[in-house]
Amino acid sequence: MTSVEIADELGRRERKKLETRAALEHAALTLVAERGLAGVTVEDIATAVDLSSRTFFNYFPSKEDALVGASPASVAELRERLEAVPAEVPVLEALRLMSRAEAERVQQRREQWLLRLKVFEQNPSLLPRLVTNGTETERAVSAAVARRIGVEPGTSGYPELAGAVAMAAFRAAMMRWSAAGGRPALTDLVDEAFSQLAAGLPNP
């Protein structure tokens, strides 16, 4: 097998893994939306996509993780997006661009994300897991802001505040987007949220 053929085979395997992961996420969300969290097992999710429970655990530690759908890669991607913005761009604008890119990614899987948000709303027991994931993301963003402005994390408080505000703006946009059934576009809601922050949150 040539190096090109090996690369192609590795590429196919990676795509297959991503497809399987997405199928398991969708099955988990669909079943929980229909039956509730307590009414769905890992075996139910795996069976829905013609896989074994053992295969399920190759992708997710639990059914709750399949519902949340977050992965370390998504945190790394956010950090990379922020670090890719030219250094002369102000921090708040850089965070907007990072968040807008994430909004575009969410919109590419619009139906799955709207379903996920519905499941979160219907199952409050998932909230601690969401808070944990959100905290990890916020810390990663804050660390990237600290590197961007050349300060040590935990010294000035600015990176932590900037990271927290950016994540709050994105969450607020997501909640509006979900409540409105996916209209208007999430990117527009993110832009609006950051515009309000840039203006100092004046009274509407």
DSSP assignment of 158-170: HHHHHHHHHHHHH
Residue that is last in its domain, among 69, 97, 128:
69
In a domain, 179, yes or no: yes
pLDDT per residue rounded down to tens, the chain (204 residues):
665 555 565 678 888 998 999 899 999 999 999 999 999 999 999 999 999 999 999 999 999 999 987 555 678 888 889 989 999 999 999 999 999 999 999 999 899 899 999 999 999 888 888 888 888 889 999 999 999 999 998 899 999 999 999 999 999 999 999 999 998 999 999 999 999 999 999 998
Q: Are 5 and 44 in contact (CB under 8 A)?
A: no
Distance CA 12, CA 83 (A): 29
Read off the pTM: 0.82
Do 94 and 50 share a structural domain? no
Do 77 and 43 share a structural domain? no
Give the total number of structural domains in the chain.
2
Do 130 and 149 share a structural domain? yes
* Among the listed residues 45, 67, 64, the one whose alpha carbon sits nearest the alpha carbon of residue 56: 45
The SS3 call for residue 37 is helix
Question: For residue 78, what pLDDT is reported?
Answer: 86
Distance CA 1, CA 84 (A): 37
Q: Are 69 and 25 in contact (CB under 8 A)?
A: yes
CATH number, domain at 50? 1.10.357.10
Alpha helices in 123-157 (DSSP H): 127-149
Do 162 and 61 share a structural domain? no
Do 78 and 44 share a structural domain? no
Do 194 and 134 share a structural domain? yes
Residue that is last in its domain, among 69, 87, 122:
69
Do 57 and 83 share a structural domain? no
Do 194 and 127 share a structural domain? yes
Structural domain containing residue 136:
70-199
In a domain, 204, yes or no: no
Do 92 and 56 share a structural domain? no
The SS3 call for residue 39 is helix
Residue that is last in its domain, among 40, 69, 98:
69
Do 86 and 75 share a structural domain? yes
Do 175 and 76 share a structural domain? yes
Do 94 and 63 share a structural domain? no
